[in-house]
Structure 1
Amino acid sequence: IFFRTTSRIMGLLNKSRVGVRHVSTMARASWRVGDIQLHGALAADNEKTRLLLGKDAVEFCSELNRKFAHEVVALSEQRRQLMRDTRQALQEGRFEDLAVPASDANWKVAPPPTVLETRRVEITGPANDPKMVINMLNSGADACMIDLEDSMAPSAQNVVDGHHNIYKAVRGELTAEKNEDGSIKRYTIGSTVATPMVRVRGLHMKEVHATASHVGPMPATLFDVGLHLFNNGRYLQDRGSGPFLYVPKMHTGVEAKVLEDVLAFCEAELGLEKNATKVTTLIETLPAIFRTEEIAQALAGRLVGQNCGRWDWLASRSYYLGSNANYVHPDREHTGMEQSFNKAYSKRVVQTAHQRGFHAMGGMSAFIPVSGDQAKTEEALKKVAVDKALEIENGHDGAWVAHPGMVQPVLDQFKAAFKDATHQKASKNSMDEKISVQDIVALESELLSSSKRTEKGLRQNLSVALQYMGHYLSGNGAVGINNMMEDLATFEMSRHSIRSWIDSKVDITFADGSQKPLTMETLEKVLAEEVATLKAANSKLPYSDASEVLLRGLKENPEFISRISGEYLNPEFARGIVIGSRMLRVLSSKEFGGHLDENQGIKFDADLVRSLLGSRPELRTGADLVRHRGRFLNRLLESGDTCYKYMGCASGLAAASVIHGGEGLVGPYCGGWQLNAMGLEESRPDTLLSTGDLTEQQAEGEPHRFLAAEGDQVCGDAIHKARGVVGQLQQSTVPHGG
């Protein structure tokens, strides 16, 4: 009562943050405005949230959520049906059924604003890192994409920092200070900057820190679009520099139409000009490449570009085509843009873009300069030059780079190719080619050889995926690995490629020369070896959690990893606020015929019943569940120093499992209340102890009993087994002593 009353009074004193604020017993704030309940860092009351998330801003997001959340959530089922239809069409050889032709042969998009006529080089990076945002703006690129999606791990604090950096950056006010070589270096935005563009999160993602009773977590696209346009839309419009958005993971024209309706609503409510918000869509899913026309036409009044999201494109190919041995990818070194199927993909984007009057943006060159190694830097520059020459040849009007050091070489290359022009929309490059569905999905015959699928390639995919996810779960979404700047797409590409090898049962060439299919059992063995290698090299990253995320992603096989990774990145929401893609909403009395009789039965569909198994349906045994609880408690109460936690246990099974799951940092607490609830007179053998653990007398005599004493309850078998497990952990590679 005291906390709630105090927070209400403080809210009245602070007009920008009026609402119902709660302070939880775990020091996690929550704050309700309208239908939206904010949690964690989004609900905190500080300089950043007061700037970004005032009452009016949250109320606008709440209204946007009320109007469109059901439509956005319903798209997930459409995507699942699309996957089933696509796989069936390919299996039956109905290739042309996948292509969606233009409904009008002569339509064009609206002309782009002058500032977006020149997009030869765009640089990308995470929104939450102020130094990187400043360096991108100062890089000399034509535009910079400030990313709220794949290169930013969406923790609550990163989301706040990302939106705050965007707010300050578009006003030229963003600064950063870094301790470099013992001195403080200050970063500021210069007078000539790249045109800022913002990549919002995809329609498949949830903002778990903003929930509403009628849909649960707010769709992340609505949160990012609503907050950005509310805070920055008018400012950018009045200065002729936006708002400009990148939108990822588009599949169909239906999704594009929902996005169009969302943006039109925002513009009308916020007093922006019609179609003021310009959009570039990423064509990075298999269905989207066959629907470039319908996606573009749904956004015709505001579309200014389509971009080739390469790594996600390869991931999507493996997801949609992976069970068919005729389309399974080889090792990643053989999947470059020079391959015929990738060329066809690139050219299809160019054809649609130039026929309809918008920019065809090439993909990311992830190579980055290597500090202190000029030879490796020169090698990276040569690889980027070859890559961009191919994109120019295909007809692209510009491309992405991942590092400021790559901007000028690529800009010079495009200037030389375009001469006095700012793009090549009038070029005939690729325009007269006939590109079929088979050109896009089929692999060249030599790529199907088992010699091109190797244990080395498997280990590379596992190692890169584990390294990336280790950083991602630590809050860093843009990671330099093997002299390349990687984001979440590299994890997805690795994961889906591995799963496709398993599903298709194609032969893999192993290090011993044998050729055989990859099984899940073999995969888990190799995965454990790669985890051990990485832990030995860098024990600070959470490789155990990264391994869990990867293995669950491989077994559960969702199209996108965000639901699974979110449970580890935001452990306070791992209890199932997001249950698959289900909409959890309050049912009105009308839906029950005007009243709800206490004896009236309610029939639930099978999908909902399955969803009630929770976010971890594979945890079926008590031991598995308790091990999971131990891991969860470790993540939930993480700190910089060694921190021991205790969890209530009532048996040796529970005690051993919680210690094992918590890697020696979670111990058993034998609680009197729990034992009383179970009944002190209960006598049963410990479920964990085998005959090898018991003395002859124990095995033949009465089983272990729970021992009780006033004020103190002791579970003898729990202590016995806990000591044994701790001893095993002390002798293992687990880094904690216990």
Structure 2
Amino acid sequence: MMTGIEIKGEMKPGYETILTEPALVFIAQLHRMYDPTRQSLLRAREDRKRWWAEGNAIDFAPETSSVRDGNWKISGTPADLQDRRVEITGPCDRKMVINALNSGAKCYMACLEDATSPTWHNIVDGQINLKDAAAGTITLEDKGKSYKLNAETAVLICRPRGWHLPETHIEVDGEEVSGAIVDFALYFFHNARALLARGTGPYFYLPKMEHYLEARLWNNIFVTAQSILGLPLGTIKSTVLIETLPGAFMADEILFELRDHIVALNCGRWDYIFSYIKSLSYDPSKILPDRAAVNMTVPFMAKYAAHVVRTCHKRGAHAMGGMSAFIPVKDDEAKNQAAFAAVKADKEREANLGHDGTWVAHPGLVSVAKEVFDRLMPGPNQLTKSPEGSVTAEELTTPNAGPKTAAGLAMNVNVAIGYIAAWLRGLGAVPLHNMMEDAATAEISRAQLWQWRHHGVSLDDGTKVTGALINEEIKTQLKVWKGDVGDNFFEAGKYKEAATILSDLVMARDLPDFLTTPCYRKFMAG
């Protein structure tokens, strides 16, 4: 009898293979032990945000200087994670899982977070697909085509949701459970032994951490989970995305807290830009230019990347590069070649800096990234290579100069509406304007609109950004979307709902932490 555990989502055929009684009891154990800590850490985020809003600077924590100055290293890296030169990322629908594993990439990050719209069915279907993938038995018959795994496949890594997102369809003792705990627990419980039997292991990408105590929470969960399943300490290995500005100041501390269970840090560049805006939202001296003008070569982003590489290699951990959002362009060879050239240049920058591998968002770009790292990184990694120097708080927080244009504002509105509408339809990764957009890139767009409105930014043509200006642009971009998708799909495609959500987010007095949280509460929690 599963005392205190209730499934509030629909039980479709096959769900019983994932939502088993032992798996649900496992979730309940972790929830009861660790959700109070999770809740306190989320409250601490709010406390820090108020502290920064009062004018106090973000900086390296003095109380952990001994960790940063200490001569320690992580415990070690499994053989199948020594060479990660190209990783592909994407959602967990069945075709994507098979194609990503067959893509020729070294690793596939199966994303239950920013690349997945967390409908109940997306989450549970995703777990079914990952269970079959972990067992090596996943197949698909679709539109007359058969899909199955190649003899050699990418290493499977699962990304659970961040600490902030709930899973309202599972309750324990009348409380909704953390989406992160649900995603981790189901994947680990069902697949750890199957993965180990196939010569790999239960590997995870951990998102959106802001503090070393959040890493300590993950480590404690890992220790408990391994103990419950009777697996040795260190069986779980993780890669942490340094995709928040506060997290960049705690890169050493995060590695230290997870030292028995971590192998790498990753430069999650898009969420990092969003976090920069969010963390410094009340400071008028930290306003960023057009989103297109904030790339990895501008000073504060280049310093961030070098800091991650330097920190990782000092501790014996891999430093993974981020995702170039360009994707192949069909039916336009000139644009397609330009996209490939942009990806190549981005990957050359990463390899020359010392990254041990990189991300792509499309199977068609695996060969582009692989060619670069094969040429510039002949060994399995570059752990002995490290950028010179160090980084200061000022270097990490000084914005770059660049244009602030009406076109940039319009693109932010267009992308935010298009992505939010797709997310409401159940799609978490969406190609828009020849770029792969996920929740992180959409977060930049809506946060920048809020920042420009809040501070009354003047565009390069002299126009002052106001709420009225943005709402007029929302109306204009709704018409653009209607023209692009047609009347019938426009009505069914949730574009009007997306426009309302965007306006509410941008006009809010305080910058909302995440667009996905209110959207989830309103549209998916039932």
Give distance in 2, aligned partners of 1:470 and 1:99. 44
| Partner in structure 1 of residue 99 of structure 2 | 135
Q: CA deviation at 1:165?
A: 0.6
Larger Cα Rg: Structure 1 or Structure 2? 1
- Which residue among 456, 459, 474 is the counterpart of 2:407? 456
- Which residue among 40, 46, 65 is the counterpart of 2:31? 65
| Partner in structure 1 of residue 329 of structure 2 | 370
Give distance in 2, aligned partners of 1:237 and 1:114. 12
Conserved 8 A contact 2:425-2:493: yes
- Which residue among 112, 117, 129 is the counterpart of 2:82? 117
| Partner in structure 1 of residue 155 of structure 2 | 195
- Which residue among 36, 39, 43 is the counterpart of 2:8? 39
Give distance in 1, aligned partners of 2:369 and 2:91. 21
- Answer yes or no: is 1:506 the counterpart of 2:453: no
Q: CA deviation at 1:373?
A: 2.9
- Which residue among 169, 173, 183 is the counterpart of 1:224? 183
| Partner in structure 2 of residue 282 of structure 1 | 241
Change (3 A) 1:498 1:485: same
Change (3 A) 1:435 1:524: same
Conserved 8 A contact 1:73-1:219: no
Counterpart secondary structure, 2:87: strand
- Which residue among 242, 263, 277 is the counterpart of 2:222? 263
Q: CA deviation at 1:315?
A: 0.5
Q: CA deviation at 1:274?
A: 0.9
| Partner in structure 1 of residue 396 of structure 2 | 440
Conserved 8 A contact 2:351-2:372: no
Unpaired runs of 5+ residues, structure 2, are none
1:154-212 CA-partner distances (Å, limit 9, x unpaired): 00110111100100011121122332xxxx11111111000000001111110011123
Q: CA deviation at 1:98?
A: 8.3
- Answer yes or no: is 1:166 the counterpart of 2:130: yes
Of 94-103 and 463-472, deviating more is 94-103
Q: CA deviation at 1:443?
A: 2.1
For residues 613-632 of structure 1, the aligned pairs below 5 Å read none
Conserved 8 A contact 1:237-1:272: no
Conserved 8 A contact 2:307-2:390: no
| Partner in structure 1 of residue 367 of structure 2 | 408
| Partner in structure 1 of residue 164 of structure 2 | 204
Change (3 A) 1:527 1:112: same
Q: CA deviation at 1:135?
A: 0.6
For residues 4-23 of structure 1, the aligned pairs below 5 Å read none
Of 327-336 and 523-532, deviating more is 523-532
Conserved 8 A contact 2:132-2:138: yes
Q: CA deviation at 1:524?
A: 1.6
1:90-122 CA-partner distances (Å, limit 9, x unpaired): x35675668953525201001100110000000
| Partner in structure 1 of residue 385 of structure 2 | 427
Give distance in 2, aligned partners of 1:275 and 1:532. 54
Unpaired runs of 5+ residues, structure 1, are 1-18, 20-32, 573-738
- Which residue among 200, 205, 209 is the counterpart of 1:241? 200
- Which residue among 517, 534, 537 is the counterpart of 2:484? 537
Q: CA deviation at 1:358?
A: 0.4
TM-score (norm 2): 0.95
Give distance in 2, aligned partners of 1:115 and 1:395. 20
Conserved 8 A contact 2:52-2:58: no
| Partner in structure 1 of residue 505 of structure 2 | 553
Conserved 8 A contact 1:99-1:291: no
Conserved 8 A contact 2:113-2:160: yes
Give distance in 2, aligned partners of 1:305 and 1:96. 20
Of 522-531 and 270-279, deviating more is 522-531
| Partner in structure 2 of residue 149 of structure 1 | 113
Counterpart secondary structure, 1:378: helix
**Taking CA–CA contacts closer than 8 Å with sequence separation of 6 or more, which of the two structures ends up with the larger relative contact order?**
2
In structure 2, what residue type is equivalent to 1:567? R
Q: CA deviation at 1:554?
A: 2.2
Conserved 8 A contact 1:473-1:568: no
Conserved 8 A contact 1:322-1:504: no
Conserved 8 A contact 1:155-1:569: no
Aligned length: 518
In structure 1, what residue type is equivalent to 2:217? V
In structure 2, what residue type is equivalent to 1:467? G
- Which residue among 117, 122, 142 is the counterpart of 1:178? 142
Conserved 8 A contact 1:325-1:506: no
Give distance in 2, aligned partners of 1:537 and 1:381. 26
Of 345-354 and 229-238, deviating more is 229-238
Q: CA deviation at 1:371?
A: 2.5
1:661-682 CA-partner distances (Å, limit 9, x unpaired): xxxxxxxxxxxxxxxxxxxxxx
